[in-house]
């Protein structure tokens, strides 16, 4: 049955459905509905909710619970997610599965509380130190927020790696009818042979990210890299919208992709062959698909984003493999402002495509 849910509520309930029984968080707008929801819902399902004393503390609780084998999650918004970066790096190094939600707000610094996508680099290029990657899902509707959060727990366990849900304030606050995936039976989830969950005198299990011997660490890095390579093969997700014969391709993710869908329809009504390419995973990024679109004749690619030219860098990397050299530009609103479909359509119609977001 469909319910009218906020994006934040859908994320929280989908996590419960996926068997998440440990939630640790610290309040920050615009994601507060997630911890608020978890604070009463965890009690109902016999799970654990802790409002930690800080984001640093919350992410380390996730490290502990995940290391003990639980499906664990934390959520925050941009400044709070910055505080979690050290923990995320440790979790990736120690190969602990978990889910981290970032409902982005505008930055840098404390910035503002309105929607933004300015943590793109932080999420996709390793916001913490060391060579690590996370699967990064970018839902563009409340339904997809539920579906991808649910999926995130399974992929996190499969890879023993953190997975990030990268949304924004608008997705978190908006409501749409959505169906929560069918709940798993937590007791029937596969046992984790590596988890530090007590072994009755058997071989000691260690969850750790320290490797003092360079050769050992190099081998560990190679092992991690293999996982990231596998993610590229198995987990890349994207959506095409009216790109078949598109001459102008908008590239956008999350809520901005929705705005661009309406813009594409407006442009098509005005006789411009426009389409939308939407990465659903930001890591792994669907580079190859962009090159294909260019090879098939798309002449202009415009990154539409709520950041000062971050997504455009991956658009350019993708197009590097094309045999053609299409025009690339960026259309952005930042600071918490959000473009309207008409703004995007007018930018394309004006034809002054540039690689700087400043007009």
Binding to another protein by residue 36, rule CB under 8 A?
Answer: no
Q: d(Cα 289, Cα 353) in Å, to the nearest integer?
A: 21
Nearer to another protein, 297 or 335 (CB): 335
Binding to another protein by residue 170, rule CB under 8 A?
Answer: yes
Q: d(Cα 51, Cα 74) in Å, to the nearest integer?
A: 10
Give the interface segment with another protein, choosing from 151-159, 169-177, 304-312, 323-331 (CB under 8 A): 169-177
Binding to another protein by residue 189, rule CB under 8 A?
Answer: no
Q: Supply the minimum distance, in Å, between the C-beta of residue 254 and another protein.
A: 12
Pick one of 45, 56, 68, 113: the residue that binds another protein (CB under 8 A).
113
Binding to another protein by residue 183, rule CB under 8 A?
Answer: no
Binding to another protein by residue 176, rule CB under 8 A?
Answer: yes
Q: What are phi and psi of 312, to 5 degrees?
A: -55, -30
Pick one of 342, 354, 355, 356: the residue that binds another protein (CB under 8 A).
342
Residue 1 token pair: 């049955």
Within 203-232, the residues that bind another protein by CB under 8 A are none
Query: How far is it between the farthest Cα atoms of the chain?
Result: 72
Strand-strand pairing, 238-241 and 98-104: unpaired
Query: Do 254 and 114 contact (CB within 8 A), yes or no?
Result: no
Q: Which residues contact 79 (CB under 8 A, 6 or more apart)?
A: 28, 105, 107, 109, 110, 111
Is residue 19 left, alpha or beta, with left meaning phi > 0 and alpha meaning psi from -120 to 50? left
Give the interface segment with another protein, choosing from 37-45, 213-221, 305-313, 339-347 (CB under 8 A): 339-347
Query: Do 161 and 135 contact (CB within 8 A), yes or no?
Result: yes
Q: Supply the minimum distance, in Å, between the C-beta of residue 265 and another protein.
A: 7
Smallest CA-to-CA distance from 79 within 54, 114, 111, 31 is with 111
- CA-to-CA dists, residue 323 to 244, 290, 314, angstroms: 18, 12, 17
Q: Supply the minimum distance, in Å, between the C-beta of residue 300 and another protein.
A: 21
Q: Supply the minimum distance, in Å, between the C-beta of residue 166 and another protein.
A: 18
Binding to another protein by residue 110, rule CB under 8 A?
Answer: no
Q: Which residues contact 33 (CB under 8 A, 6 or more apart)?
A: 6, 8, 9, 12, 172, 173
Nearer to another protein, 79 or 341 (CB): 341
Nearer to another protein, 156 or 171 (CB): 171
Q: Supply the minimum distance, in Å, between the C-beta of residue 339 and another protein.
A: 8
Pick one of 52, 56, 94, 175: the residue that binds another protein (CB under 8 A).
175
Nearer to another protein, 166 or 263 (CB): 263
Query: Pattern of binders to another protein over 238-277, x per CB under 8 A?
Result: -----------------x--xx-xxx-x------------
- DSSP string across 21-58: -EEEE---TT-THHHHHHHHHHHHTT-EEEE-SSHHHH
Binding to another protein by residue 169, rule CB under 8 A?
Answer: yes
Q: What kind and span of H or E run contains 143?
A: helix 142-159
Q: Which residues contact 177 (CB under 8 A, 6 or more apart)?
A: 2, 3, 4, 5, 142, 143
Q: Supply the minimum distance, in Å, between the C-beta of residue 169 and another protein.
A: 7
Binding to another protein by residue 341, rule CB under 8 A?
Answer: yes
Residues that bind another protein (CB under 8 A): 2, 4, 29-30, 113-114, 169-170, 173-177, 255, 258-259, 261-263, 265, 338-343
């Amino acid at each position: 049955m469909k319910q009218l849910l906020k994006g934040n509520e859908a994320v929280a309930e989908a996590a419960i459905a996926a068997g998440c029984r440990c939630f640790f968080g610290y309040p920050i707008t615009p994601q507060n509905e997630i911890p608020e929801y978890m604070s009463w819902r965890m009690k109902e399902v016999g799970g654990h909710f802790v409002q930690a004393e800080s984001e640093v503390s919350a992410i380390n609780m996730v490290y502990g619970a995940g290391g003990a084998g639980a499906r664990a999650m934390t959520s925050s918004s941009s400044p709070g997610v910055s505080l979690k970066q050290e923990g995320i790096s440790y979790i990736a190094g120690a190969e602990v599965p978990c889910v981290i939600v970032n409902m982005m707000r505008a930055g840098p610094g404390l910035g503002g509380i309105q929607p933004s996508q300015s943590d793109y680099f932080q999420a996709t290029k390793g916001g913490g130190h060391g060579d690590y990657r996370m699967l990064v899902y970018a839902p563009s509707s409340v339904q997809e927020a539920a579906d991808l959060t649910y999926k995130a727990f399974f992929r996190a366990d499969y890879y023993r790696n953190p997975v990030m849900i990268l949304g924004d304030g608008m997705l978190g606050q908006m409501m749409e009818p959505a169906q929560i995936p069918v709940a798993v039976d937590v007791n029937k989830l596969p046992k984790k042979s590596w988890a530090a969950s007590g072994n009755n005198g058997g071989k000691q299990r260690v969850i750790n990210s320290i490797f003092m011997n360079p050769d050992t660490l190099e081998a560990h890095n190679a092992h991690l890299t293999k996982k990231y390579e596998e993610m590229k093969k198995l987990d890349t997700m994207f959506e095409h919208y009216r790109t078949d014969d598109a001459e102008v391709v908008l590239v956008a993710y999350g809520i901005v992709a929705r705005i661009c869908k309406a813009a594409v329809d407006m442009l098509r009504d005005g006789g411009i062959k426009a389409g939308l390419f939407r990465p659903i995973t930001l890591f792994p990024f669907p580079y190859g698909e962009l090159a294909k679109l260019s090879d098939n004749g798309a002449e202009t690619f415009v990154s539409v984003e709520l950041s000062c030219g971050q997504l455009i860098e991956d658009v350019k990397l993708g197009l590097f493999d094309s045999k053609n050299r299409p025009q690339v530009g960026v259309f952005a609103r930042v600071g918490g402002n959000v473009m309207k479909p008409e703004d995007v359509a007018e930018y394309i119609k004006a034809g002054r495509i540039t690689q700087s977001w400043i007009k």
